[in-house]
Amino acid sequence: MRLRGVVLGVMLVVVGCLAVISWADEPTIFDQGVAAYEKGDFTAAKELFVKALAERPDHPVIMCWLGSAALQANDLADAENYLKQALVKQPKYPEAHNNLGNVYLAQGKLDQARAEYEKALEQNPDYADARYNQANLYARLKQWDKAFNEFNKALELSPQDVNVHINFGQALWQAERYDKAIREYETANKLRPNSADILGALGILYVTTGDNAAAAKAYRQSVAADAENAETQLGLGIALYNIGEYEAAVAALKAASALDKQNFAAHYNLGLAHAATSDMAAAEQAYRAALEVRPGDARCLNNLGWALQQLGRPGDAIEPLEKAVKADPELAMASVNLALAYEQSGDKSGAQKQWEAAVAAFPKSSEAHFGLAGNYHSAGEKDKALQEYLVALSIDENSAEAHNNVGLIYLEREKYVEAGAHFRIALKQNPTSANAANNLGVALERQGKIDDAKKMYNSALELDEACEPARKNLERLAPAAESATG
């Protein structure tokens, strides 16, 4: 007989103490205590065992049951006392050693706990529960090889024990042996189908290993078993977001935030999911709800500012972005977004200062250099702009807009070959850019390559029939109509 809690994480086995003694045909006080224990009413069981011990003083079995009930009721001092008394009366009592080991473990006396488990196993090498408890002790000490060895021995003795599989999986998880941890939880799921806790743990493990589709499946099953668990709904929402099912992610994350209004992650991720569906107004509200829970979170402040920028409210975005930069000076994107907010709100001086600050703080940020280049470009400081564009491209060469802008500066300086090279790269990186195609046509025309230029102007119009510069360039190059003769 044993009693275990149905929770994930380390679970100890507190066993009953063998012989269920009875001295009459009718149930005795001791029998009533055992019944209460098995129902999980440990306080009542303890009281009944005390009465039974008064009838049969010094009886080791009653003492063991009484100590076990006290342990389950978290009365550790009483538990230790009664279990020690039982072992004085009956030294070869593996169940009492096992439960005393659990008392010591609960008290943080790890060496004493291990000694008791070892005594239990010396007296009964096939005692699966003692091996299981010792495995949990080794896991707590992060002595992984010893822990895994004991878990495997426990499973050899009791292969269908779901809790051993769960705790083995938990230990493997802590040791970052994720694939093997998944195997143990999958086995536990087969042994105990539709357990919301086991399925939820599988969901976390699948996300950890990057298998978001499997995570979403596990979380959906967990939600079906228990829809009122905020953390499970949160996990489902994250997994769905990661596989691009944004609308479904919104539904799950709404449920998570409704179930636990103080769950920062639920509100924050709901903001991300709304943003992915382009519902920026809803994203703003979700980020604000997250900030009510955690006011100084830099990433959330940054995302709120970004959402406000997308809503065409750059002036409103400045305050949360300034707070984000102050909260985390290392968050590059917040500095970049703040500079953009100044720029979009018409504060050119503030924008330039912030772009320069962003470049100084994050010299490896292509976005910061590109933004500063754009600021210089619009202010007519072409030398500085070109320098910053080239730095941005040295960090990240895959910016069609930066290549196009460099090409424009070279075009103005009559460096037509260099300009054409950058326009070609811009067009290669963004084949649908009519602007880049037209600009390449201009560079070719300036090199005297008229036929090639015409082809690029036509390409620009094919990409965008409303590209007026390309139309005008073609009209300018069209041959004049022959004069009429009479």
Please indicate, yes or no, if residue 103 is contained in any of the structural domains.
yes
pLDDT of residue 15: 52
The residues, ordered by sequence, that sit 6+ positions from 453 with a Cβ below 8 Å of its Cβ are 441, 442, 444, 445, 473, 477
pLDDT of residue 99: 94
Return the CATH number at 419: 1.25.40.10
Q: How is residue 83 written in tokens?
A: 């279990």
Torsion of CA 385, 387, 389, 395, to 10 degrees: -150
Please indicate, yes or no, if residue 328 is contained in any of the structural domains.
no
Please indicate, yes or no, if residue 423 is contained in any of the structural domains.
yes
pLDDT of residue 39: 94
Q: How far apart are CA 117 and CA 99, in angstroms?
A: 9
Please indicate, yes or no, if residue 223 is contained in any of the structural domains.
no
pLDDT of residue 13: 52
Contact assessment for residue 291 and residue 297, using Cβ atoms and an 8 Å cutoff: yes
pLDDT of residue 300: 98
Q: How far apart are CA 101 and CA 13, in angstroms?
A: 10
Please indicate, yes or no, if residue 82 is contained in any of the structural domains.
yes
Q: How far apart are CA 234 and CA 246, in angstroms?
A: 13
Contact assessment for residue 137 and residue 114, using Cβ atoms and an 8 Å cutoff: yes
Domain that holds residue 28: 1-124
* The model's pTM: 0.77
Last residue of a domain, one of 75, 100, 124: 124
Last residue of a domain, one of 86, 101, 124: 124
- Over the chain (486 residues), the average pLDDT of each successive run of 10 is 30 51 61 93 95 92 94 95 95 94 94 95 94 94 96 96 96 96 97 95 96 97 96 96 97 97 97 98 98 97 98 97 96 95 93 94 93 92 94 94 95 95 96 95 95 95 94 85 37
Please indicate, yes or no, if residue 466 is contained in any of the structural domains.
yes
pLDDT of residue 478: 81
Please indicate, yes or no, if residue 100 is contained in any of the structural domains.
yes
Total count of domains within the chain: 2
| SS percent in the chain: helix, strand, coil, step 5 | 75, 0, 25
Contact assessment for residue 388 and residue 375, using Cβ atoms and an 8 Å cutoff: no
Contact assessment for residue 272 and residue 252, using Cβ atoms and an 8 Å cutoff: no
Q: How far apart are CA 224 and CA 155, in angstroms?
A: 30
Last residue of a domain, one of 124, 145, 176: 124
Please indicate, yes or no, if residue 415 is contained in any of the structural domains.
yes
The residues, ordered by sequence, that sit 6+ positions from 125 with a Cβ below 8 Å of its Cβ are none
3-state secondary structure of 93: coil
Contact assessment for residue 170 and residue 10, using Cβ atoms and an 8 Å cutoff: yes
Q: How far apart are CA 339 and CA 63, in angstroms?
A: 73
Provide the angle, in degrees to the nearest 10, between the axes of the packed helices 42-55 and 29-39.
160
Q: How far is CA 218 from CA 106, 189, 213, 467, in A?
A: 33, 10, 9, 51
pLDDT of residue 16: 54
pLDDT of residue 86: 94
Which of 309, 312, 313, 315 minimizes the C-alpha distance to 333? 309
Q: How far apart are CA 96 and CA 102, in angstroms?
A: 10
Q: How far is CA 381 from CA 289, 376, 386, in A?
A: 43, 5, 9
Q: How far apart are CA 37 and CA 68, in angstroms?
A: 9
β-pairing, 14-15 with 2-3? Answer: antiparallel
Contact assessment for residue 387 and residue 375, using Cβ atoms and an 8 Å cutoff: no
Q: How far apart are CA 99 and CA 101, in angstroms?
A: 5
